[in-house]
Structure 1
């Protein structure tokens, strides 16, 4: 009976991943990241993705602050933030976010404030979507691990 639950959860994970790939949200880099996870680092992917989300939220705040400044003219600084966002999105396989950042950077290079504002809205929307879907994926994975009865060493907190 336990195996059926594990199989169902694995199938749920696969369906969710397939949907994210089909929608262009993720690319093969995410699969490569998953391959780095093993029993010695069972939470590797979620830890890397959580660091990505923490850094991305800082970048989003910085981009919004730059664009909300009435005297805004520092497109170079915006480009630096966007390059960071592009690189980190690429490293975890966040294909759609990377592509939105590339379009955002193009608007920035053209000093197109209205285009930058539209791109920021889209970036924030797609960021929230990715964050929610990966959170869902990690929850299913956690349930699958528990259902499989896999035991990892408990770390003592001092």
Structure 2
């Protein structure tokens, strides 16, 4: 079992799901709180899903960003790290695209008036 845990941990780093910040988090775990890292990770998923819901509430009709936020929230609830990562990248891309398109729209609208 321990060998499997070591292999799985190494895979998380090799596949770039986690980085040195995860190692720092692990260093904070001790015998007094042996589940510290798991508890922090669970808080991350819980809080990030809540933050995404808050973003959805603040959206201004940004349909594609909202859809991406919904996907991200679903993956967080499923504790699907790969899905979270892909969905988050999608949200960032949709956000950047929307910002660019709305900036161009408002520029043309100002010039037209």
TM-score (norm 1): 0.41
Can you list the C-alpha shifts for 1:15-40, whole angstroms capped at 9, x where unaligned?
A: 00111111111111111101100012
Change (3 A) 1:17 1:53: same
Change (3 A) 1:36 1:13: same
2:94: which partner in 1? Answer: 107
Q: Is the Cα–Cα contact under 8 Å of residues 21 and 27 in structure 1 kept in the other structure?
A: yes
> Is 1:59 the counterpart of 2:51 in the alignment?
yes
CA RMSD in angstroms, aligned pairs only: 3.7
SS at match of 1:72: coil
Structure 1 residue 58, shift from structure 2 partner: 2.1
Inter-partner Cα distance in structure 1 for 2:30 and 2:86: 30
Inter-partner Cα distance in structure 1 for 2:19 and 2:84: 11
Can you list the C-alpha shifts for 1:59-103, whole angstroms capped at 9, x where unaligned?
A: 34455x56xx8x7149xxx8xx9xxxxxxxxxxxx8x95686366
2:78: which partner in 1? Answer: none
SS at match of 2:37: helix
TM-score (norm 2): 0.54
Give the gaps of 5 or more residues in structure 2: 70-80, 100-113
Runs of 4+ in 1 over 6 A off after TM superposition: none
